């Protein structure tokens, strides 16, 4: 399906969310990328430490949810897809916890995901009365999470052949690189739809995918346009530059409170205002967007229809605290 076909797929232009969900149920989606454990420490702080000018946090409880690529897989499963995840996870307590949470939420790990050659990536947010005080990151350098391209092709061959779509969830932790992307695009029996949520950085070529879903900052970076504070979003220039540099068949730029922008063949084709009614926590909204988009596209809906659906799904998750998912009932 090329971008123009996707934009013009008007046969289901007025599909309701229920119709999209029904058509998408059971779609097989393979997620590849950087999974992590999003961990939260909740407490209260009423005094400063005598040891250093920092608050003393009395811990009340701890919780954790799947993050990054794992959150994409969980979002897909929650919307009714059959989601499988290949992601570099460590053979450690955090990895076991992440694996159990994924299995509880209906996500299957592709064999080869777990290895003792690296720690599971964990981001711990310390929150006092819902205010973030600091974040503690545990992770090894990117090389620890990279899979050599030939090995990746071997691990993913059977899964890619069965999948209706592939989602690459890049959090710049090492599992997604030019080689990874090329190796997946070269798989002989892969589905046509390969979507990518990119974290742009020097030396990574994101060319060749069907769909890219950068946020505002990422889109400017991909386009090579400086982000000047207060500047209105240069939609036409961004779409043109991303098209010239990476030529994704479809482009959806998420613009936070300003909803999303659809690119079509290098032009800014349409803006969709946010569907959020109340905003509590925007973290993970991008994961929901790519999940819902891919699900709808894999069920045969056009880009406009898929984007409207994804925008409504994101509108639900930003109304929840913490990395969250959306269920069919909420849509
Ligand atoms: N403050 C907000 N108000 C209303 N809607 C929002 C807000 N932030 C996000 N959204 C919704 O969520 C979608 C994705 O948000 P955003 O552009 O922030 O993605 P993101 O930066 O990739 O998010 P993350 O990386 O935290 O998952 C938007 O297109 C919009 O529909
Ligand atoms: Mg994002």
DSSP one-letter string for 41-83: EEEEEEEE-SSSSSEEEEEEEEEEEEEEHHHHHHHHHHTT-EE
pLDDT at 119 over 60: yes
For residue 286, report the distance from its CA to the centre of ligand 2, in Å.
Answer: 4
Q: Region 219-229: what's the mean pLDDT?
A: 95
Smallest CA separation from ligand 1 atom 15, residue = 256
Cα first-last separation, the chain: 27
Tokens for 269? 């084709």
Ligand 1: residue of 34, 75, 285 to mutate (most ligand atoms within 8 A of CB) is 285
Residue 130 pLDDT greater than 90, yes or no:
no
pLDDT of residue 234: 97
Residue 287 annotated among the catalytic residues of the structure: yes
pLDDT tier at 323, thresholds 50, 70, 90: low
pLDDT of residue 324: 77
Q: What mean pLDDT comes out for the span 53-67?
A: 96
Per-residue pLDDT at 281 exceeds 50: yes
- Measured in angstroms, how far is the CA atom of residue 282 from the centroid of ligand 1? 6
Domain boundaries, given as residue ranges, for the chain: 3-37+67-118+142-330
- CATH entry 3.40.1190.20 includes domain 3-37+67-118+142-330: yes
> Which residues are placed with Cβ below 5 angstroms of ligand 2, an ion?
286
Ligand closest to CA 169: 2
Whether the Cβ atoms of residue 206 and residue 222 lie closer than 8 Å to each other = yes
Confidence at residue 282, expressed as pLDDT on a 0 to 100 scale: 85
CA of 66 from ligand 2 middle (Å) equals: 15
Confidence (pLDDT) at 12 = 45
pLDDT band at 3, cuts 50/70/90? very low
pLDDT band at 138 (very low <50, low <70, confident <90, very high): very high
Give the residues across from 122 on adjacent strands.
37, 138
Q: Is 172 left (phi over 0), alpha (psi -120 to 50) or beta?
A: left
pLDDT bin (cut points 50, 70, 90) of residue 276 is confident
CB distance 314 to ligand 1 below 6 Å: yes
Structure confidence at residue 13 as a pLDDT band (50, 70, 90): low
Q: Does 34 sit in the ligand 1 pocket, CB within 6 Å?
A: no
Tell me what the mean pLDDT of segment 266-284 comes to: 89
| Distance between CA atoms of residues 242 and 239, nearest Å | 5
């Amino acid at each position: 399906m090329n971008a123009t076909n996707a934009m013009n797929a008007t046969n289901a232009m007025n599909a309701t969310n229920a119709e999209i969900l029904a058509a998408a149920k059971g779609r097989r989606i393979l997620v590849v990328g950087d999974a992590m454990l999003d961990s939260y420490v909740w407490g209260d702080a009423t005094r400063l430490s005598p040891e250093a000018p920092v608050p003393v946090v009395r811990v009340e409880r701890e919780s954790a949810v799947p993050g990054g690529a794992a959150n994409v897989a969980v979002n897909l499963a929650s919307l009714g897809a059959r989601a499988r995840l290949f992601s570099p996870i460590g053979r450690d307590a955090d990895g076991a916890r992440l694996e159990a949470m994924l299995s509880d939420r209906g996500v299957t790990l592709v064999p080869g995901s777990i290895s003792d050659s690296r720690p599971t990536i964990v981001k711990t947010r310390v929150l006092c009365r819902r205010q973030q005080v600091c974040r503690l990151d545990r992770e090894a350098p990117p090389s620890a999470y990279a899979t050599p391209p030939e090995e990746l092709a071997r691990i993913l061959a059977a899964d890619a052949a069965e999948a209706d779509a592939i989602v690459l969830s890049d959090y710049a932790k090492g599992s997604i690189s030019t080689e990874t992307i090329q190796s997946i695009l070269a798989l002989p029996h892969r589905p046509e739809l390969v979507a990518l949520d990119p974290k742009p950085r020097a030396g990574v070529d994101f060319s060749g995918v069907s769909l890219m879903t950068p946020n505002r900052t990422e889109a400017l970076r991909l386009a090579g346009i400086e982000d000047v504070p207060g500047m209105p979003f240069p939609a036409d220039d961004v779409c043109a530059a991303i098209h010239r540099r990476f030529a994704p068949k479809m482009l959806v730029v998420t613009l936070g409170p300003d909803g999303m922008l659809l690119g079509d063949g290098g032009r800014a084709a349409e803006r969709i205002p946010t569907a959020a009614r109340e905003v509590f926590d925007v973290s993970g909204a991008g994961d929901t967007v790519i999940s819902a988009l891919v699900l709808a596209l894999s069920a045969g809906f056009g880009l406009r229809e898929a984007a409207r659906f994804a925008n409504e799904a994101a509108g639900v998750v930003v109304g929840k605290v913490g990395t969250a998912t959306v269920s069919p009932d909420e849509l």
